[in-house]
Chain A
Amino acid sequence: MASFKPVKVQTIPKLGERVTEDTLYWKNYKAPVQIKEFAAVTKIEFSPLPPHNYVVTASTRIQVYGPHSLEPVRTFTRFHDAAYGGSFRGDGKLLVAGSEEGLIRLFDTGGRVALRQFTGHSKAVHVTSFLSDGYRVLSGSDDLSSRVWDVASGTELNSYTEHTDYIRAAAASKLNPDLYVTGSYDHTVKLFDVRVGGSVMTMQHGHPVESVLLYPSEALLVSTGGRYVKVWDLLKGGQQLVSLKNHHKTVTCACLSTTDNKLLTGSLDRHVKVYNSSYKVVHNFDYATSILSLAVAPDDKVIAVGMTNGVLSVRHRKHTEEKQEVLGKRRRNPAYRVFIKGKNYVPKQDDFLVSKTVKQHLQKHDRQLKCFQVSKALDTALEIWRRFHKPEVTVAVMTELNRRGTLKNALAGRDEQSLTTLLNFLIKYVLTLLNVALMIRLGDSPVIERLLQRLMELLGREAELQQELLQVLGILDTLFASLTPRKEVTGPAVPPIMQGSQLQAA
């Protein structure tokens, strides 16, 4: 004797992004906090030391924010023109920034006045950075030169003018104090070695380079520019590893997350994309306007994004404690031992075993279907909770009734209210879930009539939409057909057809 087979509830796979661990991780951020700056935010950088303050460069100001405060902890307003590229030293105590006038200023994060001022660039300095020994500063400027400055003496140590266009991107190696990478609008990325006194490697990005980034292992280099993000393998002599084209406008910034070194890129198309280790997009953040700068806190707690309209958007990670609170609120289920109580007892040799049949647990609608109570089963399926939270169950019961040929019986003799709920349900889900033609016999009632008309309208609209879609499909087919190269079909197929046609003609 077979047991009753419950109604199969067909779950429809959700379209769109797949839920993976990565997406779950990156979704786990709070709603962004918006801070208005005076002008476009061109650079954001986090301090490598806790509490991970971050420096934001916008207009003539350089401001340092604490990780949780919305007010700046410190503000540097010594620039007469726009400031650029504010960045921390490795110990987070010093800060360097370039400016539109060509000056480079060095600040103490505790003080207010510039400690040093490096002069020498004839045009705007867009990028500045400390080399990893902390005693030297590198800068890249619109006067085509990149220079290395000594912090102690405030003098220029090296100057290289190998680029043929503005230098807008630079990154210093963290492992070797003598290496740094610059990217320029001349479409190249160059690796400089101070010991050699010039560039040791040149990579053709193909587009004006907006930012460069070194992986912590420093074997891989990321450059962004145009719509492309390119990853280069430095150990293989600058071979291109991968070229990504996921943005549809210029990619302006890139950074790495600390866990798993996921790559994040921000673009003028107002998206921040997160890539996994095989460089597939796993998550996407949307913003209101074009993105100029992007930074992730060293423990992934904060994502800060600067935009062209001067808004600094800060997302904080949800705390794990909050989750635990939610868990604590949930009703505690009985312990495991309650369920296995007595079940793992092994009968002894002379025990008399009386077996009890295990009762099959059935849902309410299944129980009613088992007893052929079709009308009640439909009522159960249309209960409020089930209707709203599990519409697929309702649909499955309706389909099952249709299969049994008892849908008419189940619908017979219903009053206006139950018919209204049924029709409302149909109107809500007719386009998404239902795929069965359900025949309905109804009485006369103005409410019901109105609902039926709405249902008709909806169905008519859906039919029109389907027709339009078919038209689009036809257009696409012709496009594809013209795209694929024509191929001659070889084979002896022709003569028999000829014969056939001749025969037909005869």
Chain B
Amino acid sequence: MLPSKQRLFQERPAYFSKTMFLLCASGDLVKVFSTSTEECVHVLEGHTGQVTGVILNPTNHLQVYSCSADGTIRLWDFIDGILIKIFVCGWPIFSIYTQVSKSVFVSPENFQLVALHLPKVPEQEVEAREMSAVLCNISSNPGSTAMGRGGEYVASVMGRQLTVYFFKKLKTYRFSLKATDKKGAKNAFTCVACHPKDDCIATGHEDGKIRLWRNFNQKKEYTYSTQHWHHDAVGTLCFTTEGMHLLSGGVESVLVQWHCEEVNKKDFLPRLGGAISHICVSPDGQMYSTSHLDNKINIIHCSLKLSAVIQGLVKGNIWTDLMIDPRTRALVMNGRPGHLQFYSLQQDKQLYSLDIVQQEYINQEGLDQFEVMRAAFSVGGTWLATVEERGRCTSDLESSLKLWVYNEKAQSFELNTTITAAHQDRIMHMCFSPSTETTMLVTTAWDNQFKVWLLGLDSDTQKEHASWSCDYVGSYHGLQPTNCCFSSDGSLLAVSFKEVVTIWSSDTWELLTTLCQPPGPIRELCFGRLSCSKYLLGTTAKNLFCWNLLTCSLEWSTPMDVCLLRSDPLSENVVAFSLHSGNTDLFVFRPSEPRPLFTQKAVCGGKVQRCVFSPREEPLDSCDERFQWLNRSRLYFLTELMVPLLVDDSVAVTPFYLLLGKHRQQQEEKQNSGVSQAADRVQPPQASVAIKELLHTPAHVLPAASFLCSMFVNSLLISNTGKGKEPAEQVEESEKEEDDSEEEMETHDYEQEVRTQGSVEEAPPLLSKAEEKELRRVRKTDFSWVTNLASS
């Protein structure tokens, strides 16, 4: 249920239409944004592979072509969000360029530029096989190919060679540069742009130079002039609509506007965000847009004023835990460098980005800059603690612990205390005390100490300013502390030191007891909640232990390689991810009993790195016992690749699952082979006994269909956990299914379902009350006619 599983914006993302709308490819969707409100107006769904290019129809500005890795080109009416035509090409398409004369140029597999003639036929789905190769062996980067003035020629760069192909003359000119010039600059091309009105080609180079080529329709007398401003490779180039200006951008994140008439004059717009990956200009030249590697699109007025920002989920390196802000219920994790992003999962939108480091970020590779490494929220969300570090690779580590307080008036976090070098070494883990009376933070670090920080009001300085100070420093036999965890009432603190778990009283900081279960160091620690608060869970590389703190003895243990352990803050449930032969298994259990409530084998491939429980707005009342653990909160997790942010939302089974299971598998295999998509596969979970019976017994042994019908509908009613995208549609389809199983319609529906899901699990329809009534009505109606049908 998380579309931002894919990067929100792809490489050639933004295309304007009449400055009102901005189109961009996002995963296998095309999104239409309004430039004034920054809202997503339409989502064009239909592609089954990653959308690689979006381009306006040159003959009709209300239509747009999109190409995808699934080998189709689709024509859309993006104002209403309607699919007009599908052209099946058969090859994965990596980029698309158009020309006024009816043919579309695409660069399909093994990076050839081919001209594709789109046939004019009234049918919606058309085979377009009529293609002719234009250029072979072009660069995979779509920015390294550009169409020239009115489609007369096409320019493409690869390595140190510029190739220009004239369509009318059917002639190719190649211009190459020496590997290095006198000063040893790198001359390789990175991108190309063609002047819309003039015969002029601009090329960007790896050393930051921009060359303007003219007279390139001759072999020898070509000329070029060189401009240099960028200190690193030029990322992208773009001419404005009238050709007055040339826009360039790169790693520096500065939009440079070059004046074509006056060569030395240029304007800058600095500090736009991450590295600029693409620039585009609206057809009337009023708006520019820059897309950045940190999943962001800036919409800029042509007078170089920022007018709007569309920001997706930033996916960089994630060092912090996944957290849920208790106040906004937003997902909190590393965002832009030195920032924490607050991302609303409900609205699928970034709420805001909190600047933690508060230093100018230098866009330069290889610089060791401060990064947010740890973060923790207090229970009410009033306090936020962050740790930033620099010098991780070298020996001189600089770190500081910052404590932020939520300001109701400003509606944001404000810095309260900065503690530089809180520990002598890296801080490994920290947690707030859940008790409401004291505000307390515990940090554990590699310097063999854990420290307790307390918020204290200063009585002497009669100011109302409360600041944090160290209250207690604890250590245990010079061992390195790894994890710390407070019990649910905040009276006990558990700190793990290698193999030993130490329990401390948070009032007096006395060591109450130690628990030890060798061999192997403790990886994770976790207290039980609510009725299970007397249990403490710990994991090592081989075992999962549960201690009873009343008797100070081991309650139970089980051999299991748990890589992640989290407790649901709203219930007793604890979730454990265990790595087993390359796949991760999911276990849900209560600390009071060693039997799991729910297991799912191979939730995803690879190791799960982080997970978080996000409380639901209103608890569901699911009747299905297996999924009751998801009634109050959802579980989000993040795998090793850091790419997919998966949602394991109500892993329920609908009756159609088994029917369609095979088909879907095939579909997925296709997908996996076609695109290097990190889709994670799941074994189809077992359905209920009734459905198994229904589907596995031969038809002639089955009882009358009228009898089965009610059972069938019943089973539908039971699994109403979770939420589907179009519940109404779902119900309709389930009805249809009863009448005549329209296999095709169904498969189509399920494909969609799979994609929107993010994870491969099924989301059963969420039924509103009216719909439930409707279903009951359906159940009660006489289905004798079905029997007739069956018998006939």
Q: A1-B269, A5-B360 are in contact. Are A493 and B462 (CB under 8 A)?
A: no
Q: Mark A481-506, 1 if CB is under 8 A from B, else 0.
A: 00000010111110011011001000
Is A20 on the interface with B (CB-CB < 8 A)? yes
Contact of A5 among B359, B369, B462, B553 (CB under 8 A): B359
Is A135 on the interface with B (CB-CB < 8 A)? no
Q: Mark B366-395, 1 if CB is under 8 A from A, else 0.
A: 111110000000000000000000100000
Give chain B residues whose Cβ lies under 8 Å from the Cβ of A489.
Answer: 511, 513-514
Give chain A residues whose Cβ lies under 8 Å from the Cβ of B461.
Answer: 18-20
A10 to B359 alpha-carbon distance, docked (Å): 12
Q: B462, A21: Cβ atoms under 8 Å?
A: yes
Q: A491, B269: Cβ atoms under 8 Å?
A: no
Give chain A residues whose Cβ lies under 8 Å from the Cβ of B515.
Answer: 491-493
A286 to B410 alpha-carbon distance, docked (Å): 48
Give chain B residues whose Cβ lies under 8 Å from the Cβ of A450.
Answer: none
B interface majority secondary structure: loop
Q: Mark B387-415, 1 if CB is under 8 A from A, else 0.
A: 00010000010000000000000000000
Give chain A residues whose Cβ lies under 8 Å from the Cβ of B269.
Answer: 1
Contact of B272 among A1, A400, A405, A437 (CB under 8 A): A1
Q: A1, B516: Cβ atoms under 8 Å?
A: no
Count residues on chain A whose CB falls below 8 Å from chain B CBs. Answer: 35
Is A279 on the interface with B (CB-CB < 8 A)? no
Q: B360, A437: Cβ atoms under 8 Å?
A: no
Q: B552, A492: Cβ atoms under 8 Å?
A: yes
Q: A1-B306, A491-B513, A492-B553 are in contact. Are A404 and B367 (CB under 8 A)?
A: yes
A496 to B553 alpha-carbon distance, docked (Å): 11
Give chain B residues whose Cβ lies under 8 Å from the Cβ of A492.
Answer: 515, 552-554
- Sorting the interface of chain B by its residue count into under 10, 10 to 19, 20 to 34 or 35 or more gives 35 or more
Q: Mark A1-25, 1 if CB is under 8 A from B, else 0.
A: 1111111101000000011110000
A179 to B483 alpha-carbon distance, docked (Å): 66
Is A280 on the interface with B (CB-CB < 8 A)? yes
Interface centre among B359, B420, B554 (most CB of A within 10 A): B359
Q: A403-B390, A404-B367 are in contact. Are A1 and B270 (CB under 8 A)?
A: yes
Q: B517, A496: Cβ atoms under 8 Å?
A: yes
Q: A489-B514, A497-B516 are in contact. Are A8 and B369 (CB under 8 A)?
A: no
Q: A4-B271, A4-B360, A404-B367 are in contact. Are A491 and B518 (CB under 8 A)?
A: no
Q: B552, A490: Cβ atoms under 8 Å?
A: yes
Q: A493, B358: Cβ atoms under 8 Å?
A: no
CB nearest neighbor in B for A280: B460
Give chain B residues whose Cβ lies under 8 Å from the Cβ of A496.
Answer: 516-518
CB nearest neighbor in B for A12: B420
Q: Mark B411-426, 1 if CB is under 8 A from A, else 0.
A: 0000000001000000
A500 to B458 alpha-carbon distance, docked (Å): 49
Is B682 on the interface with A (CB-CB < 8 A)? no
Is B500 on the interface with A (CB-CB < 8 A)? yes
Q: A10, B516: Cβ atoms under 8 Å?
A: no
Give chain A residues whose Cβ lies under 8 Å from the Cβ of B367.
Answer: 403-405
Is B530 on the interface with A (CB-CB < 8 A)? no
Q: A491, B552: Cβ atoms under 8 Å?
A: yes
Give chain B residues whose Cβ lies under 8 Å from the Cβ of A487.
Answer: 510-511
The count of A-to-B residue pairs whose CB atoms sit within 8 angstroms is: 75
Interface centre among B298, B460, B515 (most CB of A within 10 A): B460
Give chain A residues whose Cβ lies under 8 Å from the Cβ of B519.
Answer: 500, 503
Tell me the A405-440 residues at the B interface (CB within 8 Å).
Answer: 405, 436-437
A490 to B511 alpha-carbon distance, docked (Å): 10
Q: How far is the CB of B664 from chain A (nearest CB, A)?
A: 45
Give chain A residues whose Cβ lies under 8 Å from the Cβ of B362.
Answer: 404
Q: A493, B514: Cβ atoms under 8 Å?
A: yes
A437 to B398 alpha-carbon distance, docked (Å): 11
Give chain A residues whose Cβ lies under 8 Å from the Cβ of B552.
Answer: 490-492
A493 to B271 alpha-carbon distance, docked (Å): 57
Give chain B residues whose Cβ lies under 8 Å from the Cβ of A278.
Answer: 459
Give chain B residues whose Cβ lies under 8 Å from the Cβ of A400.
Answer: 359
Give chain A residues whose Cβ lies under 8 Å from the Cβ of B511.
Answer: 487, 489
Q: Mark B278-303, 1 if CB is under 8 A from A, else 0.
A: 00000000000000000000100000
Q: A20, B462: Cβ atoms under 8 Å?
A: yes
A2 to B273 alpha-carbon distance, docked (Å): 8
Give chain A residues whose Cβ lies under 8 Å from the Cβ of B460.
Answer: 18, 20, 280, 282
Contact of A1 among B271, B458, B459, B462 (CB under 8 A): B271
Q: A280-B460, A489-B511 are in contact. Are A3 and B420 (CB under 8 A)?
A: no
Q: A490, B462: Cβ atoms under 8 Å?
A: no
A2 to B354 alpha-carbon distance, docked (Å): 13
CB nearest neighbor in A for B418: A10
Q: A1-B306, A490-B513, A491-B552 are in contact. Are A8 and B420 (CB under 8 A)?
A: no
Interface centre among B269, B270, B554 (most CB of A within 10 A): B270
Q: A491, B271: Cβ atoms under 8 Å?
A: no
Q: How far is the CB of B355 from chain A (nearest CB, A)?
A: 8
Tell me the A452-504 residues at the B interface (CB within 8 Å).
Answer: 487, 489-493, 496-497, 499-500, 503
Q: Mark B545-581, 1 if CB is under 8 A from A, else 0.
A: 0000000111000000000000000000000000000
Tell me the B197-231 residues at the A interface (CB within 8 Å).
Answer: none
Contact of B396 among A5, A18, A437 (CB under 8 A): A437
Q: A403, B369: Cβ atoms under 8 Å?
A: yes
Give chain B residues whose Cβ lies under 8 Å from the Cβ of A403.
Answer: 359, 367-370, 390
A403 to B366 alpha-carbon distance, docked (Å): 11
Given contacts A403-B367, A499-B518, 20 further A-B contacts (CB under 8 A): A1-B269, A1-B272, A5-B359, A5-B360, A6-B360, A10-B420, A18-B460, A280-B460, A282-B460, A369-B360, A403-B369, A403-B390, A404-B362, A405-B368, A436-B396, A490-B513, A491-B514, A492-B553, A496-B518, A503-B519
Mark B residues whose CB is within 8 Å of A: 269-272, 298, 306, 358-360, 362, 364, 366-370, 390, 396, 420, 458-462, 500, 510-511, 513-519, 552-554
Closest 4 CB pairs of A and B: A491-B513, A500-B518, A493-B514, A5-B360
A sample of 20 cross-chain residue pairs with beta-carbon separation below 8 angstroms, ordered by A number, consists of: A1-B271, A1-B306, A3-B271, A5-B359, A8-B359, A18-B461, A20-B460, A400-B359, A403-B367, A403-B368, A405-B366, A437-B396, A487-B510, A489-B514, A490-B513, A490-B552, A493-B513, A493-B514, A497-B516, A503-B519
